[in-house]
A = this chain, B = another copy of it.
Amino acid sequence: MIIVMRSGATAQQVAAVVRRVESMGFRAHLSEGEERTIIGVIGDERPIDPGIFELMEGVERTVPILRPFKLASRDFHPQDSVFSINGVTIGGKKLCIMAGPCAVESRQQILEVAHAVKEAGAHVLRGGAFKPRTSPYSFQGLGLRGLELLAEAREETGLPVVTEVMAPEAVSMVARYADILQIGTRNMQNFALLQAVGQVNKPVLLKRGMMSTIEELLMAAEYILANGNSRVILCERGIRTFEKYTRNTLDINAIPAIKQLTHLPVIADPSQGTGKWDLVVPVSRACIAAGADGLIIEVHPNPEEALSDQAQQIRPEVFAKLMEDLRALAGPLGREL
């Protein structure tokens, strides 16, 4: 950390900061510029709250030097992390495509979709049993019954299942049915939930908060890793911006950027990231071209009859065509599908 003193800071003020730094067990390194004195703090600064110094007299501001995450960083773990989940690999050369409906609505619906996406080449089945909804009056998911239906679809198709868990006390129940636990965008900083999924032995699909920076996403992953669960898959799913034509703005830059910073696999969600079914196919191709390790796509046999997110679910035949597009792109991109 660098502590920047105000122009005109007195020698006593500088000395007080240096004493403080040293009293915390760090070394202080002074550098007197023409307009400002700056003080370098030597040591692992991650546990220091910068505010401690920002309030001292004569201090203008502090500048962190180290990134605040450690277990999630490439400095700590230079090679890409690759996990195997019930026979499906994620994080290596092979792309991993997850697909299925926004919400599990009925036995027939989930089985129909599961077979369709399996046939088109998907590797993991998605489907929501517990749905976070903006309105208390909207369909909130089938709950436990939805989990049972997902398990049945796995039995029938062999596809591992990813589904969202919304509360710490539901983690053990959801973990009994699901192969991957999903943390939704609104819960990315639900720290009680992050701790809970950090303590189970199931991979976690962590969606970026629609309001969260890349660094905050990596700090949320750090919560899970620090609680002992090393299998975290990150997911770019669109951020909130001023643009109103699309529901979210998929942050395509984030895909290669996150991969520079971390060893964890990164997938993208073009269904949430656009909010419009007719943008899902081109943006899916774009995410893979940008280096994503996989995708999670909402597919519904009959989107206009869906109980949620109608506008962003694609039909099985559109999904099958997308898989063909991706197969054609994988080779030139050095990936496999």
A190–B190 touching, CB < 8 Å: yes
B42–A306 touching, CB < 8 Å: no
CB-based nearest B residue for A6: B75
B33–A304 touching, CB < 8 Å: no
A233 to B64, CA, bound (A): 34
A210 to B239, CA, bound (A): 13
Interface 9-mer from A85-93, A106-114, A118-126, A284-292: A284-292
18 residue pairs of the A-B complex, CB under 8 angstroms, read A2-B65, A32-B42, A36-B65, A46-B137, A53-B304, A55-B311, A135-B222, A136-B219, A170-B192, A210-B211, A213-B243, A214-B243, A239-B249, A240-B242, A249-B249, A253-B274, A285-B290, A285-B333
CB-based nearest B residue for A102: B51
A211 to B189, CA, bound (A): 12
A50 to chain B, nearest CB (A): 7
What is the oligomeric copy number? Answer: 4
A35 to B309, CA, bound (A): 26
Interface 9-mer from A152-160, A174-182, A199-207, A324-332: A324-332
CB-based nearest B residue for A211: B211
Residues of A within 8 A of B (CB): 2, 4, 7, 29, 31-36, 38, 40, 42-44, 46-47, 49-56, 63, 65-66, 68, 75, 132-138, 140, 166-170, 186-187, 189-193, 209-216, 219, 222-223, 226-227, 238-246, 248-257, 260, 273-274, 276-279, 282-283, 285-291, 303-312, 325, 328-329, 332-333
Known: A2-B2, A241-B242. A136 touches B253 (CB 8 A): no
CB-based nearest B residue for A332: B328
Known: A56-B304, A249-B251. A191 touches B166 (CB 8 A): yes
A142 to chain B, nearest CB (A): 16
A211 to B132, CA, bound (A): 16
CB-based nearest B residue for A304: B55
CB-based nearest B residue for A305: B52
A285 to B49, CA, bound (A): 28
B250–A243 touching, CB < 8 Å: no
Q: Write out the residue numbers on chain B whose beta carbons fall within 8 Å of the beta carbon of A189.
A: 132, 134, 186
Q: Write out the residue numbers on chain B whose beta carbons fall within 8 Å of the beta carbon of A325.
A: 332
A240 to B332, CA, bound (A): 32
Given A136-B219, A213-B244, A246-B257, 16 additional A-B pairs, CB 8 A: A2-B38, A7-B75, A31-B31, A38-B65, A50-B311, A51-B306, A52-B305, A136-B223, A209-B211, A210-B211, A243-B253, A249-B253, A250-B253, A255-B286, A285-B289, A286-B287
Task: Select one of B168, B282, B307, B312 contacting A289, CB under 8 A.
Answer: B282
A206 to chain B, nearest CB (A): 14
Give the one of A4, A242, A308 with max B CB within 10 A.
A242
Q: Write out the residue numbers on chain B whose beta carbons fall within 8 Å of the beta carbon of A309.
A: 51
Task: Select one of B50, B253, B329 contacting A279, CB under 8 A.
Answer: B253
